[in-house]
Amino acid sequence: AQSVSQHNHHVILSEAASLELGCNYSYGGTVNLFWYVQYPGQHLQLLLKYFSGDPLVKGIKGFEAEFIKSKFSFNLRKPSVQWSDTAEYFCAVIPGGTSYGKLTFGQGTILTVHP
């Protein structure tokens, strides 16, 4: 069964620090990849997605992610975090070639940014 691993459960940073959150998936075929963010008390919001094309994708709020097929990875990055980035971040996968279907989520990474 396919799975998604997020290596860090809790990351603590100071404002202006750089961020990289790891995400690896286990699925041999084509995949569609997503990062969602859940701010405290709010619902999941889409940060960015990758379906095909340029493996470096840019999302909202200055986030970007790089798809590295050989490493089965889709790490999330931001050069300079802000206090308002404090949230939980989820990586998710859906098999490519299908337009619809269930998302498989990682366990989530809680990011705490100190001012």
58 binds other proteins (CB under 8 A): no
Name which of residues 86 to 115 contact other proteins (CB under 8 A).
Answer: 90, 92, 94, 99-108
Q: Report if residue 59 touches other proteins, rule: CB under 8 A.
A: no
* Residue whose structure tokens are 């798809």: 67
Cα–Cα dist 113/103, whole Å:
28
The answer to whether residue 42 forms part of the interface with other proteins (CB under 8 A) is yes
Interaction of residue 52 with other proteins, rule CB under 8 A: no
Residue 60 in the binding site for other proteins (CB under 8 A):
no
Q: How far is the CB of 87 from other proteins (least distance, A)?
A: 14
Residue 46 is a binding residue for other proteins (CB under 8 A): yes
SS3 113: strand
Smaller CB separation from other proteins, 70 or 100: 100
Q: Tokens 């990474």 identify what position?
A: 109
Half-sphere CA count of 71, side-chain side, radius 13 A = 11
- Angstrom CA distances, 33 to 17, 78, 80, 81, stand at 25, 17, 23, 22
What does the binding site for other proteins look like in residue numbers (CB under 8 A)?
Answer: 32, 34, 36, 42-46, 49, 51, 90, 92, 94, 99-108
